[in-house]
Amino acid sequence: MEDHGTGSRVNLYITSVVLDLFDEFKTAIANRIEGYDFHCNWYHLVAFILFVMEIRHKETDDEGRKLLSKGIDFYIEDKKNQESYINYFGVIEFQSGLTNYKPKTLSKNTHALIGAYSKAWNNNLKSDPDIIVSEVFGQNLATDDDNRHVTLAFKFLYNQFSIDGSNATIKLFNCRKK
C-alpha cells in the first residue's frame, strides 16, 4: 500500500480538502449555530469534515479507502506538515479569539468526535444516518441545551465531493469505481 505520511498524495489531499471546506462549512452553518459554540468548539467542524470525507469515500476502491482512513488518522497527529491539523489549527494565530487547546487535546478530542459520529452512523444505517449524525454534530457543537438545527450539515459536506470532480466538486481521492 502507498505511503500515507507527510508529503504523500493522501496527506496533501486531506490537507487541502480540510482547508478548502473549513471556511465554507463554517459559513454554511453560521446562521444555525451561536457564536459562542464556534468560539469554544470550532474544532468540531474539522472532525465532522474528516468523518464525512471518510463516509463519502466508501464509494472508492478498497485500497483508496484504506489509504484515506490511515491518512486521516495521520493528518490529525502529523507534526511535520505545516498545514496539518495540529500545525494549522493548533497555533495561537488561528486560535486568536477562540478557545485555545493544546495539540494533544485537539487530537484526542477529534478522534473521540469521529468515533461518536461513526457510532451514530453505524447504529442508524436503516433510518436516515445522515440526519442522525448531523444531529449528533449539532449536540456536540452546542455549548448549551438548545438544539442546533444543522440536520443538513452532513449532506452539505457529502455533496461537496464527486467521483469525477465535476460541477465544482472535490474529486474523490484515488477513485476507481467498484
- 20-35: pLDDT as tens digits: 999 899 999 988 888 8
* Annotated domain spans of the chain: 9-171
Please give the distance of CA 160 from its chain centroid, rounded to a whole number.
Answer: 12
Q: Which residues contact 3 (CB under 8 A, 6 or more apart)?
A: none
- pLDDT above 70 as % of the chain: 94
Residue 92: its pLDDT value, please? 64
Residue with cell string 480540510: 18
Of 75-84, 103-112, 160-169, which gets the smallest average pLDDT?
Answer: 75-84
**Average pLDDT in the chain:** 86
Average pLDDT over residues 72-85: 80
Taking the CA atoms of 44, 87, 160 and 114 in sequence, report the sign of the dihedral they define: negative
Distance separating alpha carbons of residues 55 and 44, to the nearest angstrom: 17
Range name among 61-70, 93-102, 115-124 with the lowest pLDDT average: 93-102
pLDDT score for 120: 97
Count of H-run helices and E-run strands, the chain: 8, 2
